Structure 1
């Protein structure tokens, strides 16, 4: 008897919410890592730790690499793991988490656009409506009614997040349309096989002495390890599997729900939720529901 079955809607939603919780915590873990290490080192450690965690699986899955799929695994590794890791940590040095979260919510939009332009995917009207509703809900939730103030904080570093979300869109479509024969765990493992060595080489020649001279550098390195284990390895396994069983649009719509967990953590910390935030949460969830209900609603 299979307990975890992603062919069932209930498990698809559980997985999506779990992803939102994990990735919603990634921003704070990146910030803690940046207290001792520079953005390049944080990103490189995140990738290399993931490579080391998955090393035992390489011998099991490397035969899955073929002359036809290696390029798609390579694209997945660099568009979905390598470049976003560096781009997000670079952006985090100059923009706040609210702005990063707002821009990150563009991931489903870019998944939609790249799916149409590159992969010739034709989404249904309900999918498109769901993407737009979810985007409005996510932006409303993140800006908390102060959208103008949030937008005014935009600077050149916001472009790094935009590029990263475009990469996420390409990554999701690659998995959906080009790597159908590989499981989520196989894709995750093989992608890290491609991106791990360059990250390790960078760390080998990187000057880590300033980082090791800071207080609690070991603790901050531990936060990066946690970021890698949960924010990269486990989350990518769930994400890649979710893309296979649903769609690139539904899987990337996790970015609409991430702000919900930020609000939830705030409530636990004594903050109050406003009606605007509650309405935005509902709107985002309705948008995600429409994306995943397309087969039943499409006429």
Structure 2
């Protein structure tokens, strides 16, 4: 049981620290180049573990179109949008917005699959989550405001597309009972090929001029924050189930905000209020979905 708790904390730390690594790297290379390096170094541990466990099989090629959709949307575009948003925002703010994934996953599930009926707690969670996002975006400060609205929109584009990707997996891939590690490996490997074809790599070696940024992207963002995070998440899925495993999203915004504060970013009452609302939204959505599941089983 201790190893499960350790894995849970590590996942939150890995996810939460991703934003400061992207912030460092964005001062030297482009968001597209950050994404390429992240996926490359994240793919390495996944490929090794998948090969050693023998989860990749030839017959899985028939699912290649679905793997490619997930690679383009849930990996290449998602990581690019996160990097673009983080480059424009304080890393702590980006981390709080990144924690809104469950909000958009719930919305996508309700609107597209329509297999769940929203209850009052779930609807309250959606409203609370958007209230937290509004506090961060601060639309009343549009003239000379301290928050880049384009950065907020990039972060929301990332979280919403990831929410839709979960729906896509449930509809087109989950019925085939593919090993999650195989899906992650195909998804990341194909995303790497797409990024290699589309990314302008001019000046990408500039990151080697700052060993903090280089190590942050290669080790922190790639190997730990992507590759190892995938492996830990699937371990928690197996041991705890999806609802409990996704509880790591409670840790992620807090870690990102604390690291940003330690790096000199301003953390005021609005930021604290926003993270409280986002975390409350996550809690209400998870509890609401558990109640909805119990009611459908009766």
TM range (shorter): 0.7 to 0.9
Equivalent residues of 1:76, 1:191 under 8 A apart: yes
Gapped regions of structure 1 (runs ≥ 5): 6-10
Deviates more, 1:177-186 or 1:78-87: 177-186
Which residue, 218, 228, 247 being the options, matches 2:222? 228
Equivalent residues of 1:50, 1:196 under 8 A apart: no
In structure 2, C-alpha distance between the alignment counterparts of 1:90 and 1:167, rounded to whole Å: 15
In structure 1, C-alpha distance between the alignment counterparts of 2:70 and 2:139, rounded to whole Å: 33
Q: Secondary structure at the match of 1:42?
A: helix
Gapped regions of structure 2 (runs ≥ 5): none
Higher helix fraction (1 or 2) = 2
How do 1:1-299 residues align onto structure 2 when only pairs under 5 Å count? Answer: 15=8, 18-57=10-49, 59=51, 60-63=54-57, 66=60, 69-101=63-95, 103-125=97-119, 126-134=121-129, 136=131, 148-149=140-141, 152=145, 153-180=147-174, 181-201=177-197, 206-208=201-203, 211=206, 215-216=209-210, 218-226=211-219, 227-239=221-233, 245-246=241-242, 251=246, 257-265=251-259, 284-294=278-288, 297-298=291-292, 299=295
Tell me the TM-score normalised to structure 2 length.
0.72
Deviates more, 1:78-87 or 1:108-117: 108-117
Distance of aligned partners of 1:64 and 1:162 in 2 relative to their CA distance in 1, 3 Å threshold: farther
In structure 1, C-alpha distance between the alignment counterparts of 2:126 and 2:202, rounded to whole Å: 44
Distance of aligned partners of 1:64 and 1:291 in 2 relative to their CA distance in 1, 3 Å threshold: farther
Distance of aligned partners of 1:294 and 1:279 in 2 relative to their CA distance in 1, 3 Å threshold: same
In structure 2, C-alpha distance between the alignment counterparts of 1:14 and 1:284, rounded to whole Å: 23
Shift of 1:166: 1.8
In structure 1, C-alpha distance between the alignment counterparts of 2:66 and 2:263, rounded to whole Å: 43
Tell me the TM-score normalised to structure 1 length.
0.72
Q: Secondary structure at the match of 2:150?
A: coil
Count of aligned pairs: 283
Alpha carbon RMSD of aligned pairs, Å? 4.1
Equivalent residues of 1:188, 1:240 under 8 A apart: no
Q: Which has the higher contact order (CA 8 A, sep 6+)?
A: 2
